[in-house]
Structure 1
C-alpha cells in the first residue's frame, strides 16, 4: 500500500505522522467493541472525530463533530435549485425552486442526506435511523422538459445513509449507520460492502478512502477498514492511546459516567 501523510488536527497543535497502514503517532489500533460494556463506553465517549481531506488531498482527522444544518442537499441547475431539508425524526422534504419564479414542487416524507449528479440528473440518498426505524432509499430526479420532473426510486437501502463518496463514473459508495454499501447509478444495483453491529454506538458520520480501504469518523477515534484477500474488510478502531481502554474501566468517558 502506498504510504500516506496524515495530518491530525488536535486541540493543542497539529500532529503529522506518515504511513497509511498504522495509526498516527500517539494512537493505537484496538479490536472493535463487542460486549455491551464496550459499546456503552464508545457511546459515552467525550471525544468525536471527523474524517475529511486536507488542502493537499491527504486524509485529515479533526476532533469535533461536523455541523449538520437542516439544509443537507443543494443541487444548483441553470434554471433553479433542488434543496433538501432534514430535521431527523421531525421530518424532511425536497423542493424545487425555479429561477424564473415558475411552479415549485415539494417531495415530502423523505429525509435527504446527501446528493450527487449522474448524466445531468440529481441523485439523492435519503433515510432515517431513529428508535425502531432504520431505512433508506436512493431517489433519481429526471428532467422531463424545462419545467417538469420525474422522480424514480432508484434503489432501496436496508439502513439509513450518513454520507457518501463517488468512486468512478457510476459507483456511489454510501456510509450507512451500520456499514458500507455501493450503488450503481446506472442500474440502481446495491451491494453491501461491510456490515457492523457496533457502529450505532460510535455514531459514524464521515468517510474517506485510505489505500484499498476506508477511514471512517466516529466517537472515540476512527474506524479503519482494510481490504482482505478474498473480499471484505478487516475492521480495526484507531483511537488516541489514552482512550484505548473500553472495559472494565472506560477511559475518556463523559464526566460523571
Structure 2
C-alpha cells in the first residue's frame, strides 16, 4: 500500500504540518512494496521535513524550501556560509564577522557542516551526477584556509547529523556513518529506492532515526541485526487505496 495526498484533504494536511505540528497522530505503515507504490510516492505533492522544536520535541512539516542556506561560526573568527542550488550548484564561503569580506572556498552544494578536533568538515552533494564528498578544512591564516577532499562518498548526501566523533549521512540509497577520527565509512541501512523520494532532513530521537522525504517521514528503529524501516504518514493516508490518493 502507498498513497499520496490530493485535493482539499491534502491541502488541509499540509497546512497543519507546515505550522510545525507534532506528529503524535501520524501512523506508521510499511514502505512501498512494488514499483507502482514507489511511483505513487515519487509523484506526491509534498516534501516532508523533520526537525526538533525549542524543547526538543519532534516536528514534521511540509516546507516550501528543502535547501535552506547553512551558516556556522568558525574558531578564530568569521563564519562558514553554504548554499545548495541543486543542478545550478551552490557555494561554500568564508565570511568575516563584519560581513565585508567574503572568500569562496568551494563551488559545490553545501549539505552539512560540522567541527571535530579543531578541523571543519563540509559535506557536499550533487544528486544529478550522483556525487558526494566530505572536505576537511584547516585554518592557515586570518582569511586563508586549506581544504582537502577527505572522503569520496560515491553518492550524494541529503542531510547529516553529527554526534561525538561520528557523522551520519542520509543518501538516495540509505544511511552511512563516517568516523571522523579515521574517515572510515560504514553502511548502516540500505534502501536503493530512496532516490525516488529525495531524503533531505534527518533527526535522531530516542534511539530512532527520522528522515524527511517526499510523501512520508521514514522512521528507522533499531532491531536485533539491522534497522527496521517504517514510513510515517498522516492517518488519512494510511488506508489502502486503488490509486495514488488518500482516503478519508
TM-score by length of 1: 0.78
Deviations 1:95-120 (A, max 9, x none): 33445899864334422211011123
Contact 2:125 2:157 in 1 (8 A): yes
* Larger helix percent: 2
* Larger strand percent: 1
Question: SS state of the match for residue 91, structure 2?
Answer: strand
Q: Give ranges in structure 1 of 5+ residues lacking alignment.
A: 1-7, 18-23
Matches within 5 A, 1:20-169: 24-25=24-25, 27-69=26-68, 71-98=69-96, 105-130=103-128, 133-168=129-164
Paired with 2:167 and 2:162, the residues of 1 have a C-alpha distance of 5
Paired with 1:193 and 1:185, the residues of 2 have a C-alpha distance of 16
Contact 1:38 1:246 in 2 (8 A): no
Match of 2:5 in 1: none
Paired with 1:103 and 1:65, the residues of 2 have a C-alpha distance of 30
Match of 1:11 in 2: 16
Q: Give ranges in structure 2 of 5+ residues lacking alignment.
A: 1-12
Contact 1:37 1:247 in 2 (8 A): no
Contact 1:161 1:176 in 2 (8 A): yes
Match of 2:4 in 1: none
Question: SS state of the match for residue 92, structure 1?
Answer: coil
State the Cα distance separating 1:208 from its structure 2 match: 1.1
Q: Indicate which of 179, 194, 210 corresponds to 1:199.
A: 194
CA distance 1:74–1:212, shift in 2 (3 Å): closer
State the Cα distance separating 1:125 from its structure 2 match: 0.2
Contact 2:157 2:170 in 1 (8 A): yes
Contact 2:20 2:61 in 1 (8 A): no
TM-score by length of 2: 0.81
Match of 1:217 in 2: 212
Count of residues paired in the alignment: 234
